[in-house]
Amino acid sequence: MKNGQCPKCNSKQIFKHKGSTYRSLLSIRFLKNTALTDYVCCDCGYTESYVEDSDALEVIKQEYQKV
């Protein structure tokens, strides 16, 4: 999606929103959140969310359980 093409339907009608709503926040530590950037395909509705803050990604590596 970040490349401008939907992985589900191959559309290039991709739009992004770096939100500031509750839905667009990811808790990374107690009382610490980071913003999510949402990518939406306006043809099929498929949506992906990304953390773009590299410092937040480092905290996630320390705090979250690896799969």
DSSP per-residue letters across the chain: -TTSS-TTT----EEEEE--SGGGEEEEETTEEEEEEEEEETTT--EEEEE--HHHHHHHHHHSPP-
Q: What does the pLDDT look like over 6-64, one tens digit per residue? A: 999 999 999 998 766 666 788 888 888 898 889 999 999 999 999 989 999 999 999 99
Please state the pTM of the whole predicted model: 0.78
